[in-house]
Amino acid sequence: MNPNYEILFEPVKIGPVTAPNRFYQVPHASGMTEANPRVRAAFRATKAEGGWGVVTTGAVSTHPSSDDSPLPFARLWDDNDIRSHALTCDAIHQHDALAAVELWHGGAAVMNRSSRIAPYSPSGIPWAATHVGFMGQLRPRVMDQQDIRDVIGWQVAAARRARSAGFDIVYIYAGMGYLGYEFLLDDYNHRTDAYGGSVENRVRFVRELIESTKDAVGQDCGVALRISLEELRGKASDNFASQAHEVVSLLSDLPDLWDVKMDSSPTDCGASRFRPEGAHEPVIDFVRTVTDKPVVGVGRFTSPDTMVSQIKRGVLDLIGGARPSIADPFLPNKIREGREDEIRECIDCNICISSWHDGVPVRCTQNATAGEEWRRGWHPEKVSPAASNDNILIVGGGPAGLEAALIAARRGYQVTLAEKAPEFGGRLRFETSLPGLATWGRVRDYRLYALQKMGNVNLYSNSEMGVDEVLGLGHQRVAIATGARWTQALYSSLEIPKGELKGPGVYTPDDLAAGKVPRGPILVYDFDNYYLGGAIAESLAGQGMSVTYATPAGHASAWTIMTNEQPFVHQNLHKLGVDITTQALLDSFEAGLATLSNIFTGELSTLEVSSVVIVGLRLPADDLYQSLCDCEAQWQGAGIESVERIGDAFAAGALVHAVHSGHAWSRGLDNPDAENYLRDIPIAEFPPGPVIN
């Protein structure tokens, strides 16, 4: 280990328990819930195995009045839930790490769609979200004194269940718009009793949650407070630098651990397109000066030098990781063993966060094994040895091809990777040149660096492969990873691609990647709805061109609401002077005039532009695969046992899907059951009955 990093492996006392090092996997959603207790246990245990000293759950509801359905959340409502969480605690403890639980009451920020209990709130102020997934039509109740006592009682009961399950650290959650936060912030809290008005009064509810939890389990468990400070730091205080300073001062030594964060998901989990590593520091940097208790925070930390800096400068005591712990569960061990150059660094694309919005187990672009540890038996650092002497040929050096080559080579196969371009990376070669996307190059760089060090890998760039080349090379297994192509398809009122717009001045992202430069003014027409259309509009506008962005959706880059990027996409386009037209169909483009129609009303409008860039339908670029299929009779004579498509050449999608596809293909070599996976089921040892308060 680099001696500069020894400080990262010092133990830290958290109340009655001690973290074995400073690596702390802070609470984050996994999408696994009590429906998948074994999947969840293996997912969290892998991080403990990888060296994270504390491993924490995501949000765990204390009562049915905190019901986030259909979004995935965990529960500690009864004995079945205790047994479910005990699987995770036992698995974490096997690797000598501490297990922490984020007990949570969502207050007015949850809609209780399943329980149908009117949401709880300090003053009846709802969270009027604009994201459909968070919208609800049941407005919250104003809590009375009995409601306050009930919520505190549910917290205590859940804390005792958590202790029974084996958790070492128990949380009180006062952040991200949830109930504790709602009492702290005067935007939500309009009360005139002892729980409202002054900051000292508004802190009372959180104080009582902490005190009651410590009374119940504090002799056995550390008690942590997770708190959002962004909005409070921006509010003036009569006697402190801000209301954030006042709140922390009033509670300074009450919790055993401070877990500090931002207020909204887009700022708390900002994507690398818009937020650098360590972006939280300007908001949370004061906490360590106010309390003697340890402080943990996040900042998409992947650099051990940044981690050490945060500790030595007194910003944090523990290095929090959510996304980096998903991308590389073995990040701590790699630093401990002097292998920091092997860290699979998070690219901060926030696909993991979109998993929660989708209501499914977590996915990761960099780590295809995330969520697959139990159900497929995939380990992020271990693979089964090769089961044959087959030689592997992979055609295409993009994300899928690179991942397939790396996993096959680690299994021990002899691998040849051929790429027709001068450089490896596939679509990343162009996309990482766009504003904010350079960090995504880690997908290419991590894999290429590892492959270049392996003796059983041959890498060939500038090597375009045709049928004769594939047949003549003598490989038994062939994977076609030739990517996908962007089309000039338009979009119909049925919300499907239709026809194509041909003619001069019409471009696709492939044209821009090839070096073609559209003449301004430019219309970027986007119905792909993810990052690329917005990034291209940013790039062109940044070059001084006049750009209009149009989409049939209601927002620019509409799907990026799932990855916390949408607010910043709009902000950046606005700063660059890009006009945004939503609900628009592109009907035609000729003689310098683009005709648009409203997708709902059909109202027509025109736009004078010289060029149109269509970011819409992608289709597999699988000509080589189809040609090889046409001559399948020649495979046996060439020694070929199989030819398969992977990644975008099989089904066009996001980077996460391409990497997963390449990974699955290589794991499946000589494994006839590779496509099968275990189905998890809930633990139900006790019969159904009423919720125990």
Structure tokens at 246: 């006042």
Distance CA 28, CA 155 (A): 19
- Maximum alpha-carbon separation in the chain: 86
Distance CA 256, CA 360 (A): 33
Catalytic residues: 178
Distance CA 481, CA 425 (A): 11
Nearest to 407 by CA among 667, 20, 229: 667
Tell me, rounded to whole angstroms, the distance of Cα 45 from its chain centroid: 19
Where does 474-565 have alpha helices with state H?
A: 509-513, 531-542
Secondary structure (3-state) at 364: coil
Burial 591-629 (b: 16+ CB within 10 A, else e): eeebebbbbeeeeeeebebbbbbbbbbbebbbebbeebe
Residues 59 and 75 sit within 8 Å (Cβ to Cβ): no
* C-alpha distance from residue 169 to each of 159, 256, 290, 332, 627 (Å): 9, 9, 22, 20, 59
Burial 325-357 (b: 16+ CB within 10 A, else e): bbbbbbbbbbbbeeebebbbbbbbbbbbbbbbb
Distance CA 6, CA 304 (A): 10
Query: Alpha-carbon Rg of the chain, whole angstroms?
Result: 27
Structure tokens at 35: 């429906």
